[in-house]
Amino acid sequence: MKRIVLFICLLTSIFILFVFPESLASNAFSRQSGNPASFVENKGQIIDQNSKPNPAVLYLLNNPGMNVQLRKTGFSYDLYRVSNQLEGNRQKAIGNSSSHVPRPMSQPSINYHRIDIDLENSNPNPTIIPSEPSSDYLNYYTTGTPEKGATFVRSYQKIVYKNIYPSIDLEFLMDPVKGFKYNIVVRPGGNLENVHIQITDPEINLSSDGQLKLLTAIGTIEEDIPFSTYKIDNDSVTTTNAQPFRLKGGIPLGGTYSGPGVTNGIFYPAIAGAGTHQITYTYTNAALCSAYAIVTIVTRNTLPLTCGNLLTDIRDNHAYPTIQIGSQCWLASHLEFGTSIPETQSQRDNCIAEKYSRYASPVTRYDFYQWDELMAYDETLSTQGLCPPGWHVPTEADWNTLFATYISNAFAAWPLLSSGYSGFNATLSGTRHMNVTWDWSGFATFFWSSTPHGATKAWSHGLNGTDPSVSLYPAYRSNAFSVRCLKD
How would residue 230 be classed by pLDDT, with cut points 50, 70 and 90? low
In angstroms, the Cα distances linking 207 to 9, 11, 210, 218 are: 15, 14, 5, 19
The pLDDT, as a whole number, for residue 192 is: 67
Name every residue whose Cβ is closer than 8 Å to that of residue 238 and which is 6 or more positions away in sequence.
269, 297, 298, 299, 300, 314, 389
Q: DSSP strand E in 46-175: where?
A: 59-63, 66-71, 74-83, 109-119, 127-133, 138-140, 150-153, 155-165, 168-175
**Rounded distance between C-alpha atoms, residue 488 and residue 484, angstroms:** 13
82-95: buried (b, 16+ CB within 10 Å) or exposed (e) per residue? eeeeeeeeeeeeee
Q: Give the mean pLDDT of 199-207.
A: 78
How would residue 282 be classed by pLDDT, with cut points 50, 70 and 90? confident
Amino acid at 374: L
Number of residues written out for the chain: 488
- More confident of the two residues 417 and 351: 417
Name every residue whose Cβ is closer than 8 Å to that of residue 289 and which is 6 or more positions away in sequence.
7, 9, 11, 178, 181, 224, 225, 226
174-201: buried (b, 16+ CB within 10 Å) or exposed (e) per residue? bbeeebbbbbbbbeeebeeebbebebee
**Rounded distance between C-alpha atoms, residue 335 and residue 349, angstroms:** 19
How would residue 104 be classed by pLDDT, with cut points 50, 70 and 90? low
The pLDDT, as a whole number, for residue 157 is: 92
**Rounded distance between C-alpha atoms, residue 469 and residue 414, angstroms:** 8
How would residue 251 be classed by pLDDT, with cut points 50, 70 and 90? confident
The pLDDT, as a whole number, for residue 226 is: 60
Q: Is 362 exposed, middle or buried (0-12, 13-18, 19+ CB in 10 A)?
A: exposed
**Rounded distance between C-alpha atoms, residue 218 and residue 81, angstroms:** 7
In DSSP notation, 312-355 reads E-TTT--EE-EEEETTEEEESS----SEE--TTSPP-SSSS-EE
What are residue 391's DSSP bridge partners? 487
pTM of the model: 0.60
Amino acid at 341: I
The yes-or-no verdict on residue 19 having pLDDT over 60 is no
pLDDT tens digits, 252-261: 778 899 999 9
The pLDDT, as a whole number, for residue 164 is: 93
Amino acid at 315: R
The yes-or-no verdict on residue 101 having pLDDT over 80 is no
pLDDT tens digits, 67-82: 899 999 999 998 888 7
| 354-361 vs 364-370, strand pairing mode | antiparallel
The yes-or-no verdict on residue 393 having pLDDT over 80 is yes
Helix, strand and coil percent figures for the chain, each rounded to 5:
10, 45, 50
Name every residue whose Cβ is closer than 8 Å to that of residue 26 and which is 6 or more positions away in sequence.
none
Q: Where, residue-wise, is CATH 2.60.40 in the chain?
A: 229-300
Average pLDDT value over all residues in the chain: 82
pLDDT tens digits, 411-444: 999 999 999 999 999 999 888 888 778 888 888 9
The yes-or-no verdict on residue 87 having pLDDT over 70 is no
pLDDT tens digits, 283-294: 876 656 677 788
Q: Give the mean pLDDT of 171-199.
A: 79
How would residue 176 be classed by pLDDT, with cut points 50, 70 and 90? confident
Is the CB of residue 217 less than 8 Å from the CB of residue 113? yes
How would residue 195 be classed by pLDDT, with cut points 50, 70 and 90? confident
Q: What CATH topology corresponds to 229-300?
A: Immunoglobulin-like (2.60.40)
379-413: buried (b, 16+ CB within 10 Å) or exposed (e) per residue? ebbbbbbbbbbbbbbbbbebbbbbbebbeebeebb
In angstroms, the Cα distances linking 419 to 228, 248, 444, 466 are: 52, 41, 13, 12
Is the CB of residue 395 less than 8 Å from the CB of residue 459? no
Q: What angle do CA 291, 295, 301 make, to 5 degrees?
A: 150
The pLDDT, as a whole number, for residue 7 is: 37
The pLDDT, as a whole number, for residue 81 is: 82
Cβ-based neighbour number of residue 414 at 10 Å = 20
The pLDDT, as a whole number, for residue 145 is: 81
**Rounded distance between C-alpha atoms, residue 133 and residue 411, angstroms:** 78
Q: What angle do CA 66, 71, 77 make, to 5 degrees?
A: 20
The pLDDT, as a whole number, for residue 95 is: 35
The yes-or-no verdict on residue 389 having pLDDT over 70 is yes
**Rounded distance between C-alpha atoms, residue 69 and residue 71, angstroms:** 6
- More confident of the two residues 34 and 468: 468
How would residue 205 be classed by pLDDT, with cut points 50, 70 and 90? confident
The pLDDT, as a whole number, for residue 440 is: 80
